[in-house]
Amino acid sequence: MFNCTLENGTERDMRNTPYAPVFGSVMMLGLPLNAVSLWILLRCHSLKSPSVVFMVNLAISDLLLVISLPMRVYFYATGTWPLGDKACICFTMLFRNNIRSSSIFITFITVDRLLAVVYPLRSRHLRTTSNAMKAVVLVWLFVLVWNIPESVEFSRFLDKNNESTCFEFCHKLPSTLAYFQPMLVLTMLAVNIVSTALVSWTLHRHLNDSARINNKVNVMMIFAMNLMMFTVFFLPVSLIVIFESWRRARTPLICLASVNCCLDPLLYYFSFDGFWKRKEDVDTSVARE
């Protein structure tokens, strides 16, 4: 059995048509925000700190998601898919890869902030650009390798149905693949919760350090935003496979998950005191990172 029920074509078209303007709005907002953020990160901050490396790759992940949205808009507006099975698999994987890579990169940012705040001296040999680059390469390889078995299962799904069900792919149960994403997101969420608690406790101990109180507020904003990303955008859509009652809300939850790409630029802003300044004006701030 598949873990969701496919509707007939007419009913599906009527139910899905309102999702086209939602995905269109996310695309129109997410493309310029992430493109400008990526340009600023590379031009003003370079790749001189681990956090910048992770944020650059997070912005790239969001842009890949945005690239996949025009075809979702077309699909939900017309109820047809004109590009064939392989293109359908490709665009679906772009969306799924965003949730997986984004959850990992956001967790890396959280752990990097944890080490910088709680273990600033002992973590210097770990928090290097070289180590961040290696971690990023491993993440992308991990995500791409996982696409192989999932794409094979998706191809079988399309063979049994038709191209009008392109973005309605459901894992076949029982399937290890079906539970990979929820386990990944739950694990990353646990790391974020523990890291937030440790950083909050550390900052509370040094609350009287008024010279850096503004920086403390920004640090806690980063952790709060990361937790929101998981609990609001990543977790609900990932738990569909576990909670059967959520399956009818599958497409609305996918819409909600896509909004994460519009909010990630706020994370970059709160991460740097001089986000909009040129590189020579923020060298000191980057060195602190």
What is the DSSP secondary-structure string of 190-229? Answer: HHHHHHHHHHHHHHHHTTT-GGGHHHHHHHHHHHHHHHHI
Q: How far is CA 122 from the centre of its chain?
A: 29
CA distances from residue 281 to 42, 47, 287 in whole angstroms, order as listed: 14, 15, 12
Token reading at 236: 């609900």
Where helices occur in 79-167 by DSSP H, the ranges are: 84-118, 129-160
Q: Which residues of the chain have pLDDT under 70?
A: 1-16, 161-165, 168-176, 206-215, 244, 272-289
pLDDT for the residue 87: 87
pLDDT at 270: 76
* Whole-number Å distance between alpha carbons of 125 and 287: 14
Residue 184: Cβ-neighbour burial (10 angstroms; 0-12, 13-18, 19+): buried
Q: Are 258 and 26 in contact (CB under 8 A)?
A: yes
Q: What is the pLDDT of residue 272?
A: 67
Q: In the chain, what are the domain boundaries? A: 9-288
Q: Cα separation of 53 and 3, whole Å?
A: 37
Output the pTM of the full model: 0.85
CB of 167 within 8 A of CB of 105? Answer: no
9-288: which CATH number, 3.40.50.300, 1.20.1070.10, 1.10.3720.10, 1.10.20.10? 1.20.1070.10
Residue 170, pLDDT score: 59
pLDDT at 101: 95
Name, in order, each residue with C-beta under 8 angstroms of 241's C-beta and a sequence gap of 6 or more: 3, 171, 178, 179, 181, 182
Q: Judge residue 56's burial from the number of C-beta atoms within 10 Å of its C-beta, 0-12 exposed, 13-18 middle, 19 or more buried.
A: buried
Please give the pLDDT value at position 70. 92
